Structure 1
Amino acid sequence: MQKVLVIAYYWPPAGGPGVQRWLKFTKYLPEMGFEPIVYVPENPSYPIVDEKLLEEVPEGIKIIKQRIQEPYAWASLFSKSKTKTISSGIISEKNPSFLEKLLLWIRGNLFIPDARKFWVKPSVRTLSKIIQDEEIKIVITTGPPHSLHLIGLELKKSHQLDWIADFRDPWTSIGYHKKLRLSKSAQKKHKRLEKLVLSSADKILVTSNTTKKEFEAITTTPIQVITNGYDNEWEPTELDKDFTISHIGSLLTGRNPKALWKALSELVLENEEFKKVLKIQLAGVVGEEVLKSLEGLGLTPYLKHLGYLSHNKVLELQRKSQILLLLEIDTEETRGIIPGKLFEYFSAKRPILAIGPTDWEAGNMIKTANAGIVGSHSDTDTVKSVLLDWFDKYRVQELNCMSKDIEKYHRRELTRALANYIQWELS
């Protein structure tokens, strides 16, 4: 089989959505005639850990590990609670402290493109020998962190190989870049590195059509959209007895769905039966402003904050919930963001209530799949009307989801598209 070197930062036991994409690609690539060799850090600083994901690592896969210098280790000496927030590039509060502002300035201006930049040179040295020993002709880098693309860039300069740069998220247009307090020179350096990577790679992978369009304005390098997906098969599950509305993943200030909380608060006051069975389930990190919004509207008694759940528990929660909640920040920059959980929501076959920006790519996918309703952050009346309609169906056990044409998002089918893309690049 043709060997493919995959350079990744997020790998089990890392939790969260960033690890799933290449964990699943490497699972199915051998079926398509490719042997993945995975290169990951030996001592990473993961904001979320899910030990259960180690059980999903494909048996027999070759994994090479290299030590990495993690600046977030010393940042934790100052504020352990802030470290995870900074490492994900997001400010969770509207009024960040002086320390958080300082750490973000350091992150944005001294660590370009990100804090894993110190892994580039030692990785190039290690991988150069491996490329020769293993006779590797295909290298794939996946970011963020986008420092990993600089590894691919250097390897491309010194070896005869095909390099594919996979962007799970955009680079300079990602929303949190505006919060990193970047100087003008730092902004220019990010832009320069982004263009250099996009122009030097042989092929580019992206997860949304919006990102593809954005990159096409920067480079003529071929770009392929391969979304994230799901890898579990649907099975009949007993639904929650309560009217559960469940959100999976981080729910920080920017995604706070105030229109939804207001609609739920009004329904609780107006409908005694609704009040008795409502349950709001939030799995993952929840921002203080979100909790304050719920408290201010009298919804705290209906909240069940589950914290971080293992991936297996998440799948079970999705299948049992009456309604699944998908949220995105209401900005132009987020129109192309397609949360990885969307595809597992599809496979759970429960109605999706999505609230996000106008012309949201994920929202359009939900409409196409007939998998739910898409609303805006300001439209309380529409959200309330939808909830009331779904509640009436829930009461007579007829709240169902008739999603269609989602098989194309199965990880095996997505890997088949990846294999075709790699093969086309070799021809």
Structure 2
Amino acid sequence: MTKTKVLIIAYYWPPAGGPGVQRWLKFVKYLPEFGIEPVVYVPSNPSYPIIDETLLEEVSNEITILKQPIKEPYKFAGFLSKSKSKTISKGIIPKDKQQSIIDKLLLFVRGNFFIPDARKSWVRPSFRYLDTYISDYNIETVITTGPPHSLHLIGLKLQKSSGVNWIADFRDPWTTIGYHKQLKLTNYAKQKHKALEKEVLQKANQIIVTSEVTKKEFSNITDKPISVITNGYDRNSVGNPPLDKKFTLAHIGSLLSKRNPEVLWKVLKELLEEHADFAKDLELHFIGSVSADVLETLKLYGLSSYVNKHSYVTHNKAIEFQKKSQVLLLIEIDSDETKCIIPGKLFEYMVSNRPILAIGPKDSDVETILKETNTGSYFNYQDHDAIKRTLLNFYKSYKEGNLKSHAIGLQKYSRQALTESLSKLILWEL
């Protein structure tokens, strides 16, 4: 049976590490099962802030991968400050009071000279290359995935030129993402971002988002069909390691300055003072970047001696940490802008059989999913007493040897099921 060819335009692709690469790596893995042949277009010389060579093993040799060079300003910004340019490329932006002159300069240039983002120079050469490829190979559907949202501009140009069906996938929002306010945008830059966002949303044939909150936001800008396809979990080769002997609370991923749950640190301090056994058993594991602000706050609450820091690890190693930890922490910034953020790790957390303790803004999509799947407890930053009660209950179950989650209805979040939903959108467009 002849498969339908679909061109997928992405920036993050193995050996890139981190959450940005997982979504389309997994879609590409399963699309052939549903009669679709993915053709992937990515940069040949990207500046990925995180590398995970092990993800290359998941890329099938049967997949056509097209590559073209990209010019990225982060390489040139490195002459000013290699560490600062790399930090900003990861999306880690220092607090205003902690920003040096170089920080402010890099942020101003990034926000106002590179609209919509620092990969904008890839748009024109990519369009020229792909416009010919689409014609030569009879491609009928193009999918762009962002951020970086400049990739959607490639889809916009290809649609205008060849009339292809164009699906725009938004892993994160555009102008309402939390860090947007920190880019020191001029009024002109703000309006330019909004205009580009509106044009993409109104011209794409189909829009995909990862959360209901983002769908609601975009519905106020466009009347084009919007589908929610979340991230998910996949089968993995990681076995079930023995659980940690200590009462371990583990956070996987970056713990940045604004993602600093002081209410949790306060609760832990009180539990340490009130329960001698708790003080003997507690361990905190942070896998990924941890800001100096978070470490300083932990020190203030007397928790530094309980902290075990681990730098970035491979994806499989992260899954191992998830499966062996007693409790998994999920922390989000307390703001309206983050209600739509559903971290990719949430779904891997959910199938780890470990209870999740999540803290974030009220009425978030994460809160809805946790309640729906019975995989954890969600709290706001003001829920001191409730957090304390829950941690004590977790600790009691840990001491009794029966601490685990009791998940329900997880199958719809499998990467295979999610890819089936994607395939229906693609074939419907055709």
RMSD: 1.1
Q: Aligned equivalents of 1:335 and 1:82: distance in 2?
A: 28
Which one of the candidate residues 134, 138, 141 is aligned to 1:135?
A: 138
How many Å apart are 1:59 and its aligned residue?
2.8
Post-superposition offset of 1:231: 0.3
Task: Quote the residue 1:89 is aligned against.
Answer: 91
Partner residue, 2:11: 9
Choose from 21, 29, 33 the match for 2:23. 21
* Larger CA deviation: 375-384 vs 18-27: 375-384
Does the CA contact (< 8 Å) of 1:90 and 1:179 recur in 2?
Answer: no
**Quick check: 1:363 aligned with 2:343?**
no
* Alignment of structure 1 residues 18-417 onto 2, 5 Å: 18-95=20-97, 96-232=99-235, 236-417=240-421
Q: CA deviation at 1:135?
A: 1.0
Q: Secondary structure at the match of 1:38?
A: strand
TM-score when normalising by structure 2: 0.97
1:79 is aligned with what amino acid? S
- Whole-Å separation in 2 of the counterparts to 1:53 and 1:94: 36
SS at match of 2:142: strand
2 CA distance for matches of 1:9 and 1:63?
12
Letter in 2 for 1:24: K
Secondary structure of residue in 1 paired with 2:168: strand
CA contact (8 A) 1:93 1:289 kept: no
Q: Secondary structure at the match of 2:418?
A: helix
Residue deviations 1:84-132 (CA, integer Å, cap 9, x gap): 3312334133521121011101100000000100000000011111111
Q: Is the alpha carbon distance of 1:94 and 1:279 closer, same or farther for their aligned partners in structure 2, counting shifts above 3 Å?
A: farther
User: Deviation of residue 41 (structure 1)?
Assistant: 0.3
Read off the aligned partner of 1:105 and give its amino acid letter. F
After alignment, is 26-35 or 262-271 more displaced? 262-271
- Inter-partner Cα distance in structure 1 for 2:350 and 2:307: 24
Shift >4 Å, 4+ stretches: 233-236
- Asked if structure 2 preserves the Cα contact closer than 8 Å seen for 1:92 and 1:252, the reply is no
Deviates more, 1:80-89 or 1:412-421: 80-89
Note if contact 2:359-2:380 (Cα within 8 Å) is conserved in structure 1. Answer: yes
Say if 1:209 and 1:336, in contact at 8 Å, map to a contact too. yes
Letter in 1 for 2:179: Y
Displacement of 1:167: 0.3
State how far apart, in whole Å, the 1-side matches of 2:51 and 2:240 are: 29
Quote how far apart the aligned CAs of 1:296 are.
1.1
Contact 2:261–2:381 at 8 Å: present in 1 too?
Answer: yes
Out of 140-149 and 51-60, give the one that drifted further.
51-60
Question: How far 1:174 sits from its partner (Å)?
Answer: 0.5
For 2:60 and 2:309, the matched residues in 1 are separated by 32
User: Hey, what's the Cα distance between the residues in 2 that align with 1:39 and 1:237?
Assistant: 37
TM, length-normalised to structure 1 = 0.98
C-alpha separation in 1, matches of 2:381 and 2:105: 31
**1:237-263: CA deviations, max 9, x gaps?**
421111010001110011101011111
* Contact kept in structure 2, 1:92 and 1:287, CA below 8 Å: no
Whether the 8 Å contact between 1:255 and 1:327 is mirrored in structure 2 is: yes
* Distance across 1 between alignment mates of 2:308 and 2:328: 14
Number of aligned positions between the proteins = 426
* Distance in 2 (alpha carbons) for counterparts of 1:367 and 1:83: 39
Runs of 5+ consecutive residues of structure 1 not aligned to the other structure = none
Q: Distance in 2 between matches of 1:221 and 1:379?
A: 39
1:98–1:298 Cα change, 3 Å: same
Residue 93 of structure 1 contacts residue 288 of structure 1 at CA under 8 Å; is this kept in 2?
Answer: no
* Structure 2 counterpart SS, 1:254: coil
State how far apart, in whole Å, the 2-side matches of 1:394 and 1:278 are: 11
